[in-house]
Amino acid sequence: MKLRIKIDGKTYEAEVEILDGQESAPEYPPYPPAQPTFVSATLPEPAQVKAERNNETECRSPVTGMVIKVNVEAGQEVQQDEVVVVLESMKMEMQITATKPGVVKRVLVTPGSAVKADELMVEFA
């Protein structure tokens, strides 16, 4: 089959032969499958600081995010499951509640504060 090709205003004629799909495909040597490798995972030892924490008197951030609202102040009494802080993380609001009734000792965050996961936000007496 002959083709006429025009490149930069010049006309060229070329003969073209159409091959079957199998003939035109390049041949690649077969690759042996990769052998899977496994690395055993070990959990890190808990830090001494985490062992000393008292979850009943502390309210910590479960995620990295931003404080949207603080519903308590120092000296305020709270009931179990009362919303203490509202966080935003990945465009989702999360209500952080008191784990038991108590009195707020101190509040360490304000609206607009950025918090890291496991950061102390409110301390109870």
- Give the domain CATH number at 87: 2.40.50.100
State the residue range of the domain holding 82. Answer: 54-124
CA dihedral 75, 80, 85, 91 (to 10 degrees): 180
- 20: in domain: no
What the block records as the tokens of 29 is: 């040597």
Number of domains forming the structure of the chain:
1
Tell me the pLDDT of the chain averaged across its residues: 84
pLDDT for the residue 36: 72
- 59: in domain: yes
For the chain, the helix, strand and coil percentages under 3-state DSSP, each to the nearest 5: 5, 40, 55
pLDDT for the residue 116: 94
Task: Identify the segments of the chain with pLDDT beneath 70.
Answer: 19-26, 38-55
Q: Percentage of residues in the chain with pLDDT exceeding 90?
A: 54
- 80: in domain: yes
